[in-house]
Amino acid sequence: MPRIALKVDVDTLRGTLEGVPALLRQLARHELRATFLFSLGPDHTGRALKRIFRPGFLAKVRRTSVGSNYGLKTLLYGTLLPGPDIGRRAAEPMRACWRAGHEVGVHTWDHVLWQDHVARRDREWTRRQLQLAVERFGEVFGRAPEVHGAAGWQMNPQAYELEQELGFSLASDCRGDAPFLPRIGERVLEVPQLPTTLPTLDELIGVDGISADNVAEHLLKLSLDGRDHVYTLHAELEGGQLAPAFESLLQGWMAAGLRIGTLGGYAATLDTRALPVREVGMGSVPGRSGLLAVPLPAA
């Protein structure tokens, strides 16, 4: 049967303190495991508001009730309020994921900083951001991380190379349709990419008559196509006001007999050495503003 790999992006302090425990309880009821990827440094969510001038960003904010999902306090972090250190303030909920048997990995050090700048930064800047996250992960979990999933699906060529140099064994940094090995120039890297293959709830809600009440039905139809999928959820959304939609999704997938689990569990079913090699770049995704990391079309 096809497989659904659950990738949980945890972007904020609120998502770590509130959304993660809620998702742990929900997944425990169904005896399911997921991959939780953590933001480990300062929460500077408020600085993301400067994206208001990007095409499509303001429309997305209006569609998805950003204020109610993230909370006013979170939207002030890094501007009117100092950005709290997520890894120090919320290490216990992170470790609770590991104790409950879930896979854990690195999302980012500073989510807004990475998402807004990595595509235009050099190797040393990128290395510093990744190294900070890796070191803090080690402080929290007492071990090195094996999984990386880039904040906002934002990458640069050096970031893929650095994942290999820093010892990651698996990554989910891109949007795409199937697993692959990334190629940077003439170099084929060994860290497989398991891209997000399904749209996220916030990309769908408010478009073409889709609401929080029927988004699960729509997404379920997209996912029941006989293929394996990676679904990215957010602790701030599915662990909060969109929990009922996520519950409907889980029930639908289980009723259809799909195998639901972690990125690592999915990767274990693949012969990673035989994966197709794809050059990586940037491209657009419906419902998401700006450009995201994607495998480029084969020449």
Cα angle vertex 143, ends 37, 149, to 5°? 20
Place of tokens 């991380």: 145
Rg (CA), the chain: 18
The total number of residues shown for the chain amounts to 299
pTM listed for this prediction:
0.92
Report DSSP letters for 205-239, one per residue.
TTSTT--TTTHHHHHHHHH-SSS-EEEEEETTTTT
Question: Rounded distance, CA 100 to CA 24, Å?
Answer: 8
Indicate the residue type of 216: A
Residue 57 has a pLDDT of 45
B/e letters for 235-259, b = 16+ CB within 10 Å, e = fewer, are bbbbbbebbebbebbbebbeeeebe
Question: Rounded distance, CA 165 to CA 176, Å?
Answer: 24
Residue 210 has a pLDDT of 95
Q: Which residues of the chain have pLDDT under 50?
A: 52-53, 56-58, 61-63
Question: Rounded distance, CA 2 to CA 43, Å?
Answer: 36
Paired residues of 7 in beta bridges: 35, 232
Question: Helix crossing, 123-141 with 157-165: angle to 10°?
Answer: 40
Residue 187 has a pLDDT of 96
Q: What confidence tens digit (pLDDT) does each residue in 82-99 have? A: 789 999 999 999 999 999
Q: Which two tokens stand for residue 63?
A: 């569609």
Q: What confidence tens digit (pLDDT) does each residue in 39-81 have? A: 999 998 887 666 544 554 445 544 455 556 666 676 776 677 7
Domains and CATH numbers, the chain: 3-295 (3.20.20.370)
